[in-house]
Amino acid sequence: MSLVLVVEDDPTIGSALQSALGVAGHSVIWKRDGGAALESARAAAPDLVLLDLGLPDVDGLTICRELRMLLSSAVIVVLTARREQIDIVSGLESGADDYLTKPFSVVELLARVRAHLRRSGAETSGNDDDAVLGSLIIDVSGRRATIGGIEAPLRAREFDLLVRLSRQPGVAIGRAELMADVWDENWFGSTKTLDVHVAALRRRLRETADLASMAGPLTLPVITTLRGHGYRLDVGRPIA
């Protein structure tokens, strides 16, 4: 049974979520402000957090960042009435794995919750072999990616995405296929999530490579964007 932390100050929405998640078989903790949510996260270590961004005490993005530091492997789904892309991207970059804009259907939310919990902590492939791509070494069973001996600080979904891309280096992989393999085969949400995770993965790999390059030259794989299609992992670009 999964433990879900609901952070929602609206009593109507919070009560509905608590009831629906309970009926679906989850244990639920419902908190109405950010401070209480952080206390519950520390004490209970939930598997998934549903986080409203419009909280009465602290900005939801701040709480999202703090929850991510506390719960490195938990899934965080932000619930927001903010529909601008910049707000959605800010939520994902603050550590969220996904988002839903209000109003949303309970059916869609439960489907997202099931998908995320099914994928949370799972490998993206049945192949547990390590991958060596230039100076990048991916330890699948240990869920570590290192460059020049330095571990990249990847979040769970970023690591899953890297593993999936590394299974077919040099091969163009469509957006729908990546979403199905890394998120869920029945995913029907926005694929903006994929773009944000690719951007974060690129940044973390580059930052790690910059540290490692102080000890000598490296060869770092590049995630190439294929507009209108998806992404490709290209191997072999030397960096100083």
Task: Output the pTM of the full model.
Answer: 0.57
Torsion angle defined by CA atoms of residues 238, 169, 73 and 184, in that order, rounded to the nearest 10 degrees: 150
- Cα separation, 232 vs 152, in Å, equals 20
How much is the average pLDDT of 215-231?
A: 85
**Which pLDDT score is estimated for 128?**
53
Q: What is the pLDDT of residue 129?
A: 60
Mean pLDDT of 133-140: 83
Tokens of 221: 């794989």
Task: Give per-residue pLDDT as tens, 151-194.
Answer: 999 998 899 999 999 888 888 999 988 988 888 755 555 667 89
Beta carbons of 163 and 125 less than 8 angstroms apart: yes
Rama region for 149: left / alpha / beta (φ>0; ψ in -120 to 50; rest) = left
* C-alpha distance from residue 208 to each of 77, 97, 173, 218 (Å): 27, 22, 25, 11
Which tokens in the block code for residue 59? 């900005």
Backbone angles phi, psi at 205, to 5 degrees: -65, -40
Per-residue model confidence as pLDDT tens digits over 54-84: 898 888 899 999 999 999 888 899 988 866 5
Which percentage of the chain shows pLDDT scores above 70? 86
Domains and CATH numbers, the chain: 3-119 (3.40.50.2300), 131-239 (1.10.10.10)
Better pLDDT: 114 or 175: 175
How much is the average pLDDT of 32-45? 94
